[in-house]
Amino acid sequence: MGITDSLKIDLVERETEVVENTVSGTINTSLYQTFIDNNSSQLLAGKLAEVFAWQIDFYTIQKGDSFFALYEQEKVGDAVVKIGDILAAKFIHKGNEYNAFLYNQDGKLEYFDENGGSLQKAFLKAPLKFKRISSSFSRNRLHPILRVYKPHLGIDFAAAIGTPVQAVGDGIVVEARRNGAAGNYVKIKHNSAYSSGYMHLSKYGKGIRNGVRVQQGQIIGYVGSTGRSTGPHLDFRFWKNGALVNYLTQKFPSSKSVSKENLNSYYTFKDSLQAKIDTLINLNQITLVREPESTL
């Protein structure tokens, strides 16, 4: 007697619709917890944090801070299948207001404030003048000293001892000390999303210590071979949202403000989005808007 399978699968194409939605809330403990408590998308919370990453340290947000946002979502019927871009947002932090508007300038979408200034800042292409990259970012590299395969989640820049090492962006030094295999080490927190690390330094830059604010291009140390190292180089690490990433493959915003020739167009566009945010605020929608769960 044969065995038959009664399972039948039909592939059905359904049209999607992109619609605008709003979300707002008041912080009690953290941004993510506010979204969780109100059964809203944590992905949307992450998008909002990225928009204001340079303006707000989300580790220091406090009870009573509030936010309002207009965003896109892709739907099939009543089911949400994708969270799209945040089109406009306002975040009130410690009594200060921060605004963001997504604008297409010369074919590139970026966030700007109410005056057309960029919300993002750029990073240097490299933290030093180097001879070559002696070891790339890798999930499985043969360690030159330990002779075992293990991840190397940084970039080794080969350079002479004493070569100045620069901060790739503005930030605060959160670590400047001898750190085991890393040798003399500096870590900089640039904002709530990005941090950078500099290993095997021969010595530190003038005044570099915990808690010091540094500017992009400032010398924070000099190339050396301290710690577990086979020769003079800088092992450079970069974190995005707490995870080590390959710095050379990151696509950072241009950090350019809206150009003079685009300002009138921008203000008209910005005002239309601002009106929607103002309506949301006037309606006093403090509780997050709940999104229907996808049934697909």
- Does 286 have pLDDT greater than 50? no
Torsions phi, psi for 230 (to 5 deg): -95, -10
Domain check: are 22 and 116 in the same one?
Answer: yes
Whole-model pTM? 0.69
pLDDT of 294 reads 39
Mean pLDDT of the region 69-74: 91
Q: How much of the chain exceeds pLDDT 70, in percent?
A: 85
Range of the domain at 86: 17-120+257-282
In 3D space, the residue among 143, 160, 118, 54 whose CA is nearest the CA of residue 110 turns out to be 118
Structure tokens at 208: 């570099």
CATH of the domain at 60: 3.10.450.350
Same structural domain, 170 and 137: yes
Contact by Cβ (8 Å): 190, 147: no
Whether residues 93 and 141 share a domain: the answer is no
Q: What is the CATH number for 186? A: 2.70.70.10
What local confidence, expressed as pLDDT, does residue 103 receive? Answer: 96
The mean per-residue pLDDT over the stretch 61-67 comes to 89
Q: Is the dihedral of CA 75, 80, 84, 87 positive or negative?
A: positive
Q: What is the pLDDT of residue 288?
A: 39
CA distance linking residue 10 with residue 71, whole number of Å: 33
Q: Is residue 90 part of a domain?
A: yes
Residue 46, helix vs strand vs coil: helix
* DSSP-assigned letter for residue 259: P
Res 291: pLDDT: 43
Instruction: Please count the structural domains in the chain.
Output: 2
For residue 145, the model assigns a pLDDT of 55
- Read off the pLDDT of residues 111-159 as tens digits, 9 standing for 90 and up: 999 999 999 888 988 899 887 887 775 655 555 555 555 577 889 999 9
